[in-house]
Chains A and B, each alone.
Chain A
Amino acid sequence: MKDVSTLTIIGGVNKEGIPENIKSIEFNKGEIIGIVGPTGSGKSTLIDDIEQLARGDTASRRHILINGEVPDVAIRVDPRLKLVAQLSQKMHFLADMTVEDFLSMHARSRGKNPKLVHRVLELANTLTGEPIALHQQLTALSGGQSRSLMTADIAIISDSPIVLIDEIENAGIRKQEALELLACEGKIVIVVTHDPVLALMATRRIVMKNGGMIDVITTTLHEQQLCYKIAEVDNWLLSLREIIRRGDLVEGTV
């Protein structure tokens, strides 16, 4: 697979057709980048542009460069050469297939060994509450099960140098574990998030408004320190959530 050392977004226009504040921004291998902004501000649209390696042909008119160059057409379309893996905001599968058929077909489309299916399933089941079975229909999976399977599928089958993640915190799955699975070393990871821990884990975050990139904030040292504290609180809340889920009493555990 091609080595990706930088990814560049050349700014386009916002929803009003007015040029974005951010004219160009470059990300390096190993970075985690956050995308923040109110609902409807164009966060998903921005990562869709990256997934498609836009070349002025989307509503935002943005351009995406890899290693400073316009990427080859084949890299944009052929899953065997693709440089981007995307976990979208979708909570459900529409494909009328069993889990096994789907995963092995996906492995084939990415030029990977179909035997990976078992590893994907195993991993997905570490993220979800009720286990998924290979013979189940994809469309019958719950939202959280679908999201776990999508996450495991991306970590193992779509394993790519650029990883795009859209609001993993809303999936009802273990978000930090999921992020660790997807954001292995040496990748460029872009996370759309409203979650303070995830946002502060990023080295920089792009602020979206009205369809445009309006600002880039570099996470300060103080924010990084705060991130540890917030993570402690967050883990505590998560453990309470687990207790509630199990159907136990919170009383006495606090």
Chain B
Amino acid sequence: MKLVVLAGTPGSGKTSVLLHTIKALLSLGNNPTVVKIDCLWTEDDQRFKKLGIPVRVGLAKDMCPDHFTIYNTEDMLKWAESEGSDMLLNETAGLCLRCAPYPDGCLAVCVIDVTAGPNTPLKVGPLLTTADIVVMTKGDVVSQAEREVFRERVLDVNPTCSIVEANGLTGKGSFELAELIRVFPDISIEMKLRYNPPLAICSLCTGEMRVARKYHMGVLRNLDGFMEYRGE
């Protein structure tokens, strides 16, 4: 079983690229399954179902979507196996740029939209810096020079990644991505995360709603960057 985790900012083209890539994988004889994780709502599952493959949705609701993804990875893999699949493709919600929901044994794919501008790679954090493959989408909207500058910025923050220039509308790049997925090794039994999730455990995590500082406890950071522990 292979695990592919596809992360990226909302609307960056994850589903569009994945749909073309699944078509390529099917034509090459693979049996992919898809799990889409989102926070509150998604209709991506309807788009995947049109390809006739097994699809599941997980809504994280009030849990952090990346934590939710990690916590449910084992279940997702079991389900994919029960469907007779050889690869699980997991599209994440990818909202909080502090986390990266990539286990070490997975193929970590970060989908990033070039129209967001060449400073975006500097802002995206571990989602991009710990990815194996970076998929640049929407290159049709900008000039060649802008694509090249964007690419340079991606390599500045993640020098070892493979970059795929894809187009979610035309399917450009999908065979390249499918090939990279196919040659990637299966997952091992014991997986570990590549990057530590946020440190802070505070009273907000357990439901505190009041804003005033005196109500807050836990590991907290001040505006000036100073971190402290408040509590018993």
Chain A residues with a Cβ under 8 A of chain B = 48, 51-52, 57-59, 77, 79, 85-88, 90, 93-97, 102, 105-106, 108-110, 150, 153-154, 157-158
Contact = CB atoms under 8 A, between A and B. Distances in A.
A196 to B, nearest CB: 27
When A and B form their complex, which 8 residue pairs have the shortest distance between CB atoms, in order from nearest?
A109-B152, A96-B117, A79-B148, A86-B144, A109-B148, A105-B149, A90-B143, A59-B170
Contacts of A58: 170, 172
28 contacts: A48-B140, A57-B171, A57-B176, A59-B170, A77-B165, A79-B151, A90-B142, A93-B146, A94-B115, A94-B117, A95-B117, A95-B118, A95-B146, A95-B150, A96-B117, A97-B119, A102-B118, A105-B153, A106-B145, A106-B149, A106-B152, A109-B148, A109-B151, A110-B148, A150-B145, A153-B145, A154-B145, A158-B144
B148 A106 contact: yes
Nearest to B165: A77
Contacts of A59: 170-171
Contacts of A93: 142-143, 146
Contacts of A109: 148-149, 151-152
A105 B118 contact: yes
B172 A51 contact: no
Interface of B: 115, 117-119, 140-146, 148-153, 163, 165, 170-176
A58 B163 CA distance: 18
A58 B170 CA distance: 7
Contacts of A110: 148
Nearest to B144: A86
A77 B149 contact: no
Contact of A88 (B143, B149, B175, B176): B143
B149 A102 contact: yes
Contacts of A105: 118, 149, 152-153
Question: Which among B119, B146, B153, B165 has the highest number of chain A CB atoms within 10 Å?
Answer: B146
Given A94-B142, A97-B117, A105-B152, 5 more contacts: A57-B173, A77-B165, A94-B115, A95-B150, A157-B145
Nearest to A52: B172
Contact of A51 (B144, B153, B170, B173): B144
Contacts of A57: 171-176
Contacts of A79: 148, 151-152
A109 B145 CA distance: 9
A96 B144 contact: no
A51 B147 CA distance: 12
A85 B143 CA distance: 10
Question: Which among A51, A105, A157, A158 has the highest number of chain B CB atoms within 10 Å?
Answer: A105
A185 B122 CA distance: 40
B22 to A, nearest CB: 16
Nearest to A88: B143
Contact of A94 (B144, B146, B165, B173): B146
B177 to A, nearest CB: 11
A41 B231 CA distance: 69
A141 to B, nearest CB: 12
Contacts of B142: 90, 93-95
Contacts of B141: 90, 94
A48 B170 CA distance: 12
A106 B163 CA distance: 17
A109 B118 CA distance: 13
A78 B163 CA distance: 10
Contacts of A108: 152
B192 to A, nearest CB: 31
Nearest to B141: A94
Nearest to A93: B146
Question: Which among A59, A109, A110 has the highest number of chain B CB atoms within 10 Å?
Answer: A109
A232 B140 CA distance: 37
Contacts of A96: 117-119
A150 B143 contact: yes
Contacts of A95: 117-118, 142, 146, 149-150
B117 A88 contact: no
A150 B153 CA distance: 19
A88 B144 CA distance: 8
A191 to B, nearest CB: 16
Contacts of B148: 79, 106, 109-110
A102 B149 CA distance: 7
